[in-house]
Structures are given as C-alpha cells and as structure tokens.
Structure 1
C-alpha cells in the first residue's frame, strides 16, 4: 500500500469517518424501488452513527474555517491507528487545541468527571483528554516549554447542554460558541511559535502512515450519499404527514357517523 504523502492541511473535515461510511455502504445491498418510494435506507446503525458524526465534523469545520488568519486548523488528523483520528487540531494565539466533535440531539449533562447523553454515561471526557495528552507529548519533544494542549469537546445542535460542574481539563461547548471562545482567549503563543507548532504538526511523519486516497472522489461520493439520505428522510416525513392526515380524516368521519346515528335515533 502506498503512502499518502501530502501534508496534514490538505486533509478535509471528517475525511476518516467518511471513509468508514463509504466502505461499509459499498457492500450494502441496493435498495428496491419500493424501499426508495417509502424512504427506506440500507444504512445500518453503525453507518448512521458514522454518518451523523461526519456531518457534525463538517459543521464544526465550517465554523473553524472562519477563524482569523493567525489561526491554523488541521482536520481529521490521524492518531494511534488508521481508524482513529483527531477531529480538528487548532493552533493560534490562544494556544493549541484538540477539538472532539459529537453530533447529538439529546440532553447533555456535564459533571466534573462525568458526562451523560440522555441519562446514559459516556467516556467522551476521558477520550478528549487522551487526545490532548498525545499531541502535548509530540509537541514537547521539540518545544518543551510550550503549554499543554487544551482538549475541547463540542456538541452540534444538542437539545440541551447543561454544565452542572466544569471538568478540570476539558472545555465543553456548544459548537456555535467554539470560535467566539477561541478568539476571546488571552494570547499565550507568539506568531512565530504558532508557525513552528503548525509546521511540526503539518508533517505526516509525525503521525502514522496514511493510505493513498483521492479526497475529491471521497467527498463527491459522500455528497451523493448525503443527498440520498436527506431525500429518504423527506420521503419518510411526507408519508408520516399523509398517514397522520388520513388518521385525522378517518377519525372525523367516524365522529360524523356517530353524530348522524345519534340524530337519527
């Protein structure tokens, strides 16, 4: 297998997870005409989780793209294996940050060392800390005096995000608040230090070997999949509306019949 030699800045948001989605969907059976009519998909639970995760990373990537030019953003940075990556790695005057993205529409409750999604405990805080520690170790091999990397956990469109206690290490935010928070931070890195860190982390040799891919093709195929899933969702919603309307009409007809029988009696 050849190696992907391009620098990290050429990677796009959700590149790794999009690859997972497309790989799984490539072996999925083709939908029947009836399935397409009713908006049924061949996307399983695992694929749907990856798909939603990819959509979340793309949203956060679009926000980060609007940061001022003195900030550098790397996307889908490979970590310990080909199946593990850092969603976004951000370097700027305010420091170095690993951004972990979660796309949940549920109730998010954050404690000092705990996090729950719809009352179910998850290990997102610990995972975010681990990613930041790894990058801190890499940077300090060359720049031993640089401040530790700050782990950030962002949620895309949560129904409710409640910070009951602030975690000591991880900053937890709604994705909408990420860039304003970054920009407001007190500067801790000079322009030269930002560039030095960015140059260091831009090298593929710092991370694991990447498989040779064609990003344009991957993005195009994911765009097509996204369009199919959105179309299926619209079809399911339309059928649901029609079913509800039919139920209401049927109920109204029953009431009219009861009224007519009562009047005749």
Structure 2
C-alpha cells in the first residue's frame, strides 16, 4: 500500500519559508535566563530574514483568503532544485498570477521600469518575479499546452512608501493593502470549467518538482511558538528601553534644580563682587 502525497492545496502560507527558518534555528543557542528577562531575541543571525519573510507571506495569505470562492489560492509550491518555491499562486476569473511577497515594512520602495530599489538599494525582485512566472507557465503548459502565461506580481508588505515612476512591462508591483482590489479588478479571462481544470493541475503534486527537503512535522505549530517568543522578547526589550529612558529623565529632573541653583549663586556672586 503506497502513501499518497498530500495535495498542493494543503500547503499553508509561508510553509516552505517556515521550514527553512526552523532548520536555521536548530543551530541557534538557547537564550540564557538573563537574555530572556531582558528581551534578547530568540532568533539567530541567519534566521531573521526568514522570519521576516514568513511574517510577510502569512500576512498576504490572510488577504488572499478573503477572495471570493471562485478564486483558488495555493501556497509554497516548489519550482527549483535548490529549494526555491513560489510564495503564492492565485487563479480566478481574472487570470493566473504568481505572487512574490516581499516584507519591506517601514522601508521606501521606488520603481522605474525594470529597476526596483528598497531604501535606495537596488534589488532583483522584478527579474526574480519574471523568472518565477515563466517557470510556472512552463510547468503548467506541460499539462495544459494552451494555457495563458502567468502574470507575475510583487506584493509589498507594509512599505513606508511606494513610488512608481514607470510601471514594469510585465510585473505588477502592488501594496498588500491594495492586492485584493487589484486582483478583483482584472478583466475576465477564464471560465469556470477552465478554472476547475487548472486548479486540478496545480493541486497535483506530480506537476511540480520534488521538494529538496522532506516536510517538517507540525511546522506551523513550531512557528507559532517561536513567533510568540519573538514578540514577547520585543515587548520586554521595549519595556526595558522605556524604563531606561524614564530613569534618565527622572535623573535629569532631579539634577537640574541643584544645577540651576549653583549657576545662579555663581552669577549673583559675580554681580555682587565685580
């Protein structure tokens, strides 16, 4: 009796990123008692970017989950030999979309044609998104030769600003807050029968390359526990900083009156005794 591989639709948002994050965390030393008390992050240096990426993909996944029922959402689909994956594939009346989620919380994003810069630093998001869409299109056309090409989308999570001087030719760059509205505004290209066929192909594990790493047991449960530790550490660190600021302010308040009195004595003494 053979075990049937789970469908791709069973994947959770950020699942691949979370599995890599947990692998990175395996080599991270445990925090000391004082580290926990003073809010030292449990994340290792190599885990921070994976954690941010996971938070971004989860946020976008929650937005996609609010789409109408005729839309289908797939997460964390393997496409490469080195563990590369597609963050999200979205299909609906408006087309086939590959979403590349980027968590640039608090950073300025500037776009002009094929150039995309984050806080003044040029990044390869546009090229990477095109490559992912092309790869998905090739894989799906092996089963559906006449399928329209996938539309690449960069979904930006909570950027400080988004300035688009010139839109890229192929890639849509969209804030997370406007993603749902943007998808629903696409003109219809698929009927219900086509969407059913396409969803079946995407859902079939045989359509996709075998994942490089075996699946991790209960990754979402482990991530929830780690996320709680990270948020608690951030809260404690913030409280200690506020306590430090409060103590400094109180010390300054207590120090100022004697200092002013001393200066006045010097000044008045100087006036009385020229």
Decide which moves more: 204-213 or 68-77: 204-213
Alpha carbons of structure 1 residues 238 and 230: separation in structure 2 relative to 1, 3 Å:
same
Give the direction of change, closer, same or farther, for the CA distance of 1:4–1:159 in structure 2 (3 Å limit): farther
- Provide the residue aligned with 1:181 in structure 2: 182
Larger radius of gyration: 2
CA shift in 2, pair 1:253/1:3, >3 Å: farther
Asked whether the equivalents of residues 19 and 216 of structure 2 are also in contact (C-alpha less than 8 Å), the reply is no
Aligned to 2:254: 253
Q: Show the counterpart of 2:74.
A: 74
SS of the equivalent of 1:69 reads: coil
Residue 260 of structure 1: how far off its partner (Å): 1.9
- Give 2:57's aligned residue: 57
**Aligned: 1:161 with 2:150:** no
Does the residue aligned with 1:86 lie in a helix, a strand or coil? Answer: strand
The answer to whether the Cα contact below 8 Å between 1:129 and 1:151 also exists between their aligned partners in 2 is yes
Instruction: Name the SS for the 2:63 alignment partner.
Output: helix
CA distance in 1, matches of 2:137, 2:3: 25
Shift of 1:245: 1.3
Instruction: Point out the more displaced range, 77-86 or 98-107.
Output: 77-86
Once residues 38 and 15 of structure 1 are traced to their aligned partners in structure 2, the CA distance between those partners, rounded to angstroms, is 30
Consecutive unaligned residues in structure 2, runs of 5 or more:
267-274
Correspondence for 2:205: 204
Alignment match, 2:226? 225
Instruction: Give the Cα–Cα distance (whole angstroms) in 1 for the partners of residues 234 and 253 of structure 2.
Output: 29
2:43 alignment counterpart:
43
Contact 1:4/1:212, CA 8 A, preserved across alignment: no
1:28 maps to: 28
Residue 129 of structure 1 pairs with residue 115 of structure 2: no
1:143 Cα offset (Å): 2.7
Q: Normalized against structure 1, the TM-score is what?
A: 0.94
Cα deviation 1:69-94 (Å, max 9, x = unaligned)? 11110001111135211000011100
Aligned residue for 1:143, secondary structure, equals coil
- What pairs with 1:232-251 in structure 2 (closer than 5 Å)? 232-251=233-252
Take 2:171 and 2:3, find their aligned partners in 1: how far apart are those partners?
A: 33
Q: What are the Cα deviations for residues 91-141 of structure 1, in whole angstroms up to 9, with x where unaligned?
A: 110000000001112111011011011000000000000000011112223
The answer to whether the 8 A contact 1:3-1:209 is kept is no
Partner of 1:143 in structure 2? 144
Q: CA deviation at 1:212?
A: 4.5
Alpha-carbon shift at residue 255 of structure 1 (Å): 1.6
Seen in structure 2, the aligned counterparts of structure 1 residues 124 and 94 have a Cα distance that, compared at 3 Å, is same
Name the Cα RMSD after superposition: 1.7
Query: Within 5 A, what are the aligned runs for 1:107-122?
Result: 107-122=108-123
Distance between the aligned counterparts of 2:42 and 2:60, measured in 1?
27
Tell me the residue number matched to 1:100.
Answer: 100
Moved more, 22-31 or 222-231: 22-31
